[in-house]
Amino acid sequence: MRVVTVFFILSLLVACSQQEVQTNNIHSIEEQVVFPEMVELEFGEIDLELLQPISVSKGWELETTVSLGELSHLVIYRAEDETAHGVLQYKDNQFALFEHAHGHLEEVTMINQSYSDDLNDVIIVSSIVIGNTGYYVVFDRKLEQWYSFPSWLMPTAVDLDDDGNVEIIQTIAHHNDFLDVSIIKWTNGEFQAANIKRVFYDYLNLDTTINRLSVDYRLENSEMMVTIQLIGEEMAKKTYRLEKNNLFLVGEEDEL
């Protein structure tokens, strides 16, 4: 009986020691986080998917029709297996926008922002969310072709750098409710995107299996203020101001 008691006490001490080591490791990682004075956003090209012509099957039932302005309509059909088929109607043509199992239309945001140069004349018509998947609908006026690329929730269109082209800010809440923000812009005849959370993970050299970041933003007129917070550490929360493609750390006096 005495041997069992001693073994139990030793096991308890070892477990407490291991827990203390884990806690100290997490704390030491959080204490080492030093937010940079400036962060350069990394924009990468967005691949546009050309929408293909489609014929509506006899077994599909019309579920809803949504106007996408003067150019087109979105028609959603429901198949016998409950798959939702999103069809874009343009003049007398029909194009396949999405196919989503059991999904329902969640959000349609009209954007209607034009982007053009010597070679291009395109317009982001709208953002459509069905189930947990989003799509931007893009029309090329010169080629009369329709495209799409992935979207997040709640897109906001604003000219952030006063270049005459409107950027799109979009937000997403992941399954763990940690917010993320990305920016879409038009540069050199193409759409590009930068994910703010991904950039800060690299700058802060964080372990994504231990540390979690939450990113949020607010607009002050046309100025974008970004808040970065290390979850679980109240002191690890900083605000940055976007200028061109860079985020600059804001001091407490600047925030007032």
Q: What is the pLDDT of residue 232?
A: 72
DSSP per residue over 144-201, as a string? Answer: TEEEEEEE-EEEEEE-SSSSSSPEEEEEEE-TT--EEEEEEEEETTEEEEEEHHHHHH
Burial class (CB in 10 A: 0-12, 13-18, 19+), 208: exposed
Q: Can you tell me the distance from the alpha carbon of 181 to that of 198, in angstroms, rounded to the nearest whole number? A: 10
**Containing domain of residue 68, as a range?**
36-255
Q: Give pLDDT < 70 ranges for the chain.
A: 1-32, 173-177, 233-235, 252-256
The answer to whether residue 26 sits within a structural domain is no
User: Which whole-number Å values give the CA distances from 190 to 50, 73, 159, in the listed order?
Assistant: 14, 25, 16
The answer to whether residue 9 sits within a structural domain is no
pTM: 0.81
Q: Comparing C-alpha atoms, which of 253, 52, 240, 212 is closest to residue 146?
A: 52
Give the DSSP H or E segment for 37: none
Q: What is the pLDDT of residue 52?
A: 98
Q: What is the pLDDT of residue 234?
A: 61
Burial class (CB in 10 A: 0-12, 13-18, 19+), 120: middle
The answer to whether residue 241 sits within a structural domain is yes
Residues in CB range of 109: below 8 A, 6 or more apart: 126, 127, 128, 154, 155
The answer to whether residue 223 sits within a structural domain is yes
Residues in CB range of 200: below 8 A, 6 or more apart: 39, 206, 213, 215, 228
Q: Can you tell me the distance from the alpha carbon of 161 to that of 22, in angstroms, rounded to the nearest whole number? A: 45
Q: Which amino acid is at 91?
A: K
Domain total in the chain: 1
Q: Can you tell me the distance from the alpha carbon of 47 to that of 228, in angstroms, rounded to the nearest whole number? A: 28
The answer to whether residue 242 sits within a structural domain is yes
The answer to whether residue 91 sits within a structural domain is yes
Q: What is the pLDDT of residue 89?
A: 97
Q: Which amino acid is at 184?
A: I
Residues in CB range of 143: below 8 A, 6 or more apart: none
CB 210 within 8 A of CB 192: no
Residues in CB range of 29: below 8 A, 6 or more apart: 206, 207, 210, 211
